[in-house]
């Protein structure tokens, strides 16, 4: 059997449900959780391409870093929908942190990674380093 993992957001949702039962409210419980963005990968002779789906994430809420050959994309999604009718206002908020890490291939040029963000999709281009030409060693 798999070990149980503590999920503080699930605990908060359970507490909110119990409080709602005591106060007799019937409002839906908002989900508060981390999410894992989908990633598409492509490789060609020039380099490596990553497309990361980040719907509802603003460009300024995304961080990209490279440390010890590990590329990490992290950030936070903050999305709010508001619906106003004659006799009520309904606001739904969805938020959560994300982080994806990738071990860069040995020929990846980490100093020249390019990133572009448009319409909820982050595209990274990681160029390949040119292979150094062989060197002939003279025997003395």
The single-letter DSSP state of residue 47 is: E
- What are the pLDDT digits (tens) for 84-134? 888 877 777 767 888 999 999 999 999 999 999 999 999 999 999 988 778
107 and 63 in a common domain? yes
Tally of domains in the chain? 2
pLDDT of res. 117: 96
50 and 23 in a common domain? no
pLDDT of res. 29: 47
Asked if residue 103 is part of any domain, the answer here is yes
43 and 20 in a common domain? no
pLDDT of res. 1: 38
Q: Which residues contact 41 (CB under 8 A, 6 or more apart)?
A: 48, 49, 50, 51
For the question of whether the overall pTM of this predicted structure is more than 0.75, the answer is: no
24 and 84 in a common domain? no
Find the domain containing 22 and state its range: 7-33
29 and 68 in a common domain? no
- Specify the pairing of strand 121-127 against strand 47-53: antiparallel
The CATH number of the domain holding residue 113 is: 2.60.40.790
């Amino acid at each position: 059997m798999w070990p149980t993992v503590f999920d503080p957001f699930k605990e908060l949702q359970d507490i909110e449900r119990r409080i709602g039962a005591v106060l007799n409210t019937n409002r839906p419980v908002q989900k508060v959780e981390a999410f894992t963005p989908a990633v598409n990968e492509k490789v060609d002779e020039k380099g490596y391409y990553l497309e990361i789906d980040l719907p509802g994430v603003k460009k300024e809420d995304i961080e990209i870093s490279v440390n010890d050959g590990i590329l990490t994309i992290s950030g936070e999604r903050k999305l709010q929908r508001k619906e106003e009718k004659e006799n009520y206002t309904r606001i739904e908020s969805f938020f959560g942190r994300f982080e994806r890490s990738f071990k860069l291939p040995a020929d990846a040029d980490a100093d020249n990674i390019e990133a572009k963000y448009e319409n909820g999709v982050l595209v990274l281009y990681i160029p390949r380093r040119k292979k150094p030409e062989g060197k002939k060693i003279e025997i003395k």
